[in-house]
């Protein structure tokens, strides 16, 4: 991806697929030189025989015509389903409000939508099936996992229609949807993991299985990480609407300690569940975040 291209700026055009393409195609260069090839139905290319290649892969008809050994390669068929589970609770509407933040900075849900659009594009380019599950107390958006560009477009449409609700729904309400996600594959959960009754971790617990690779992407803003507030402030919880009046100066130290403790606890719990934990700052450019994420996983999607 070209460093001068700002994903946030492109996002202002409200053209989510384009943004996703732009960001994703940038990553494809070098990281995805080609699709994985191997045995399969759909023909990909011929290649010269090399010692060690199975003899039944040699195209004998071509040998008869050219008197040379060629191995027939086909696109590898992928059975991997990539699921994106998006937390659409009210807390995901938080965006940086400090002076340093841009006026039109994304909130967490926006960021999650763009990230999902980008990663799903990468996945569909690889031939993987993509599915999406948006969760809030108001509604659930379930898009079954399918492969192909058209399905990706459908996925983007669902993302655009995804609205936030109040709280993360109780597990009992989303049990059926979670069961559909539990097929073998990769599940990427995008959430801030702010929960009232451990409902997010309960859902994650049900998602984890030997056949499923679950990744938890914890979204946080600069405000939450640095607490730049000043003066006497009435803090209102986005989900519970409770209010707390505090002197920012007095509360800052305790808050930062609490955040650190919360993140450590979350990382420990996710690790115990077998969930890979990634902390994502939504006020940093998305391309950097994606590059770091993919490098850490050290394998293409």
Partner 1 sequence: MIALLVFLALVIPIGIHLISRSEGKVVLFPFLALLPAQSAASELHIKLRQRWLLLVRLLLLLCAGALVTISLISDWFVELGLNEVVNAQPPAPTVIVTQDWWNTSNEQEKNALKAQLNSDDFEEVESIVFVANNNKNNKGENKRLVRVSSRNFEETFKDESSSDDAIDDTNNSARSTELSNIWSTAQVVAQSIPVDSPLHIYTSNRYSQFVGGASYVRERVVWHISSIDEASQDSNKPTFQLALIGLDLTKASEEQIQRMAQTEIAIRALQNVYPSIVVNKLRSESVSSLTSLSQQYDAIVVDAIDDSEMETVVKVVQVSKLSSSQKAGFVLNLGAAIFKDKQQEYLFFNTWLSAQQIQNSASSAEHLAVSALPESTDSQLKTYLAILLVILFLVERLMSEMRDKQGYTKQNAELGS
**Which of 62, 259 has the CB closer to partner 1?**
259
Nearest to 181 by CA among 217, 150, 156, 144: 144
280 φ, ψ to 5°? Answer: -120, 125
x/- site string to partner 1, residues 262 to 281, per CB under 8 A?
x-------------------
Q: How many CB atoms lie within 10 A of CB 28?
A: 17
**Which of 128, 224 has the CB closer to partner 1?**
224
Among 9, 18, 244, 296, binds partner 1 (CB under 8 A): 244
Q: Indicate whether 192 belongs to the interface with partner 1 (CB under 8 A).
A: yes
How many whole angstroms separate alpha carbon 256 and alpha carbon 224?
A: 9
**Which of 105, 124 has the CB closer to partner 1?**
105
How many whole angstroms separate alpha carbon 47 and alpha carbon 59?
A: 10
How many whole angstroms separate alpha carbon 149 and alpha carbon 156?
A: 11
> Which residues 6+ apart lie within 8 Å of 41 measured at CB?
74, 77
**Which of 163, 236 has the CB closer to partner 1?**
236
Q: Indicate whether 247 belongs to the interface with partner 1 (CB under 8 A).
A: yes
Q: Indicate whether 238 belongs to the interface with partner 1 (CB under 8 A).
A: yes
Q: Indicate whether 157 belongs to the interface with partner 1 (CB under 8 A).
A: no
Interacting span for partner 1 (CB under 8 A) from 68-76, 131-139, 140-148, 245-253: 245-253
**Which of 91, 137 has the CB closer to partner 1?**
91
Q: Indicate whether 240 belongs to the interface with partner 1 (CB under 8 A).
A: yes
Contact (CB, 8 A) for 93 and 109: yes
Q: Indicate whether 233 belongs to the interface with partner 1 (CB under 8 A).
A: yes
Q: Indicate whether 149 belongs to the interface with partner 1 (CB under 8 A).
A: no
144 φ, ψ to 5°? Answer: -60, 155
Q: Indicate whether 100 belongs to the interface with partner 1 (CB under 8 A).
A: no
Contact (CB, 8 A) for 280 and 236: no
Among 70, 171, 194, 293, binds partner 1 (CB under 8 A): 194
Q: Indicate whether 172 belongs to the interface with partner 1 (CB under 8 A).
A: no
* Count of residues that bind partner 1 according to CB under 8 A: 33
Q: How many CB atoms lie within 10 A of CB 242?
A: 8
Q: Indicate whether 232 belongs to the interface with partner 1 (CB under 8 A).
A: yes
Nearest to 290 by CA among 13, 19, 90, 12: 19
Minimum CB–partner distance for residue 232 and partner 1 (Å): 4
Minimum CB–partner distance for residue 36 and partner 1 (Å): 40
How many whole angstroms separate alpha carbon 125 and alpha carbon 294?
A: 15
Look at residue 296 and give its three-state secondary structure.
Answer: helix
Which residues form the interface with partner 1 (CB under 8 A)? 91-92, 94, 97, 103, 108, 192, 194, 224, 229, 231-240, 242-247, 250-251, 254-255, 258-259, 262
């Amino acid at each position: 991806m070209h460093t001068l291209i700002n994903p946030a700026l492109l996002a202002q055009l409200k053209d989510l697929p384009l943004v996703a393409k732009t960001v994703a195609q940038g990553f494809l260069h070098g990281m995805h030189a080609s699709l994985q090839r191997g045995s399969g139905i759909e023909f990909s290319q011929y290649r010269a025989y090399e010692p060690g290649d199975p003899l039944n892969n040699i195209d004998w008809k071509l040998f008869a015509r050219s008197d040379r050994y060629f191995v027939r390669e086909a696109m590898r068929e992928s059975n991997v389903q990539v699921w994106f589970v998006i937390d659409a609770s009210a807390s995901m509407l938080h965006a940086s409000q400090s002076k340093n933040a841009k006026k039109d900075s994304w909130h967490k849900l926006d960021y999650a939508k763009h990230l999902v659009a980008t990663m799903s594009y990468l996945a569909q380019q690889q031939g993987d099936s993509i599915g999406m599950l948006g969760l809030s107390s108001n509604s659930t958006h379930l898009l079954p996992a399918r492969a192909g560009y058209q399905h990706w477009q459908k996925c983007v449409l669902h993302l655009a229609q995804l609205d936030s609700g109040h709280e993360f729904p109780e597990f009992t309400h989303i049990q059926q949807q979670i069961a559909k996600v539990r097929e073998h594959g990769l599940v990427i959960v995008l959430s801030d993991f702010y929960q009232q009754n451990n409902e997010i971790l309960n859902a994650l617990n049900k998602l984890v299985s030997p056949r499923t690779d679950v990744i938890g992407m914890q979204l946080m803003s600069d405000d939450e990480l640095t607490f730049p507030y000043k003066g006497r402030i009435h803090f209102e919880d986005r989900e519970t609407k409770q209010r707390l009046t505090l002197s920012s100066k007095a509360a800052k130290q305790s808050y930062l300690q609490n955040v650190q403790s919360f993140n450590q606890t979350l990382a420990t719990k996710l690790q115990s569940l077998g969930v890979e934990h990634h902390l994502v700052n939504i006020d940093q450019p998305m391309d950097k975040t994606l590059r770091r994420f993919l490098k850490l996983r050290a394998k293409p999607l």
